[in-house]
Structure 1
Amino acid sequence: MDGDIRLRQRLAAGDDGALRLAYDRCSPLVYGLALRVTRSREAAEEITQDVFVSLWERPYDFDPNRGSLRTWLALLAHRRSVDWVRREERQRNLLDTVGDSEPSTLILDMIIAEETGARVRRAVAALPQRLREAVELAYYHGRTYRQAAVELGLPEGTVKSRIRSGLRRIADSLAEEGSAS
């Protein structure tokens, strides 16, 4: 555990040797897990790269007090692999429905929009109630800050702060899932 703490500190300091060390130790596990779930070498390579880029960009997302680096990276790899499989399945189902073997740009755009919308809805649902209410009023019900403040019985500045905070949490959640990249 002490080694993982030091490694995280080195990553946070921008030490690319720490990333190399983490990659050397854990990439076979990450790649193997991604390959097992996706059954695609290309997808496993992409997921492996994405997992280590996430570690490099956000080393403090890993908490050594909650588990080992290997376990955390495996969890990220599994989560992203399952997302990849679901995305591929939705695309196949949509193509079967359309009956087209070559998806058009419009169809691919629709798939991406549907997937992004679902992720945003999950991120909004995960917000604390006070933030979720403000975000929903502004973005799902088209209320202005002032209208949302009146409905919630709060000062306008409070509502603005809650919306900003909610949007920041949603962005962080999407980035954590890898969809903001």
Structure 2
Amino acid sequence: MHVAAHGEDAAAPGQGALEKLLDRIANGDHEAFETLYTATAGAVLGLVRSLLRDAAQSEEVAQEVLIEVWRSASRYDPGKGSAMAWVMMLAHRRAVDRIRSVQKTVERDHKAAVRDHETPFDVVAEHVERRLERQQVRRCLDQLTDLQRQSVTMAYYRGYTLQETAHLLRAPLGTVKTRLCDGLIRLRDCLGVTA
């Protein structure tokens, strides 16, 4: 079934003719439906296209509207307006429903894309936190004695062994071990690290 474009629709039936066609369609008259289809398809497509602005979707929605006319012709109430107004109201509703559906799909896809793209942590916060930790470690190192600070710095930050640290500091190995242990305990306390 092809929806007629604007210039393709036949001359509109006379006053009251669409209402009679709808009555016949409600009773299953296929010829009445073909006549109504020919008379209204161009206007339906024009309205739908003006709302959707997409030719393929407009054709699809116009088809849906005309199928709905076939299925629901018995619900047409002449007391509420003309048959053409009823058909156009169905077309408008169906087009608006399609617009809402497309918008919801776009929003859902956007949310999914944002969710999938988010980084698992905040890079700026991570950088600031590391910087603050380094400043706190420096502040705590400054509270150690010179030998404690040198022992910790050489053993933990420069990677020297205890023997190398003792040799470079020109201090006995036992003294370096003690100062290193004391320094680490004071650092742990200063940093608030629980054992």
Q: TM-score, normalised by structure 1?
A: 0.51
Q: Give the whole-Å Cα distance in 2 for the aligned partners of 1:41 and 1:32.
A: 10
Structure 2 residue aligned with 1:4, among 18, 22, 30?
18
Instruction: Please state if 1:82 is matched with 2:100.
Output: no
Deviations 1:55-95 (A, max 9, x none): 11121111122211111111111111111111111111111
Instruction: Please state if 1:61 is matched with 2:75.
Output: yes
Instruction: Please state if 1:50 is matched with 2:64.
Output: yes
Q: Give the whole-Å Cα distance in 2 for the aligned partners of 1:23 and 1:36.
A: 19
Match for 1:29: what amino acid? A
Query: Over alpha carbons, which structure has the higher Rg?
Result: 2
Q: Give the whole-Å Cα distance in 1 for the aligned partners of 2:80 and 2:53.
A: 30
Q: Give the whole-Å Cα distance in 2 for the aligned partners of 1:23 and 1:92.
A: 33
**Considering only aligned residues, what root-mean-square deviation do their CA atoms show, in Å?**
1.6
Shift of residue 51 of structure 1? Answer: 1.2
Maintained 8 Å contact 2:48/2:95: yes
Instruction: Please state if 1:23 is matched with 2:29.
Output: no
Deviations 1:100-148 (A, max 9, x none): 8xxxxxxxxxxxxxxxxxxxxxxxxxxxxxxxxxxxxxxxxxxxxxxxx
The residue aligned with 2:108 is 94
Maintained 8 Å contact 1:31/1:44: yes
Q: Give the whole-Å Cα distance in 2 for the aligned partners of 1:49 and 1:69.
A: 18
SS at structure 2 position matched to 1:14: coil
Structure 2 portions without partners, runs of 5+? 1-14, 115-195
Shift of residue 9 of structure 1? Answer: 2.2
Maintained 8 Å contact 1:51/1:77: yes
Q: Give the whole-Å Cα distance in 1 for the aligned partners of 2:31 and 2:65.
A: 17
Maintained 8 Å contact 2:19/2:83: no
Q: Give the whole-Å Cα distance in 2 for the aligned partners of 1:22 and 1:64.
A: 16
- Kindly report which structure 2 residues correspond to 1:148-167, keeping only aligned pairs within 5 A, or say none: none
The residue aligned with 2:180 is none
Q: Report sequence identity in percent.
A: 29
Structure 1 residue aligned with 2:49, among 27, 32, 35?
35
Match for 1:40: what amino acid? D
SS at structure 1 position matched to 2:78: coil
Q: Give the whole-Å Cα distance in 2 for the aligned partners of 1:6 and 1:97.
A: 49
SS at structure 1 position matched to 2:79: coil
Maintained 8 Å contact 2:18/2:84: no
Shift of residue 3 of structure 1? Answer: 2.1
The residue aligned with 2:157 is none
Maintained 8 Å contact 1:10/1:18: yes
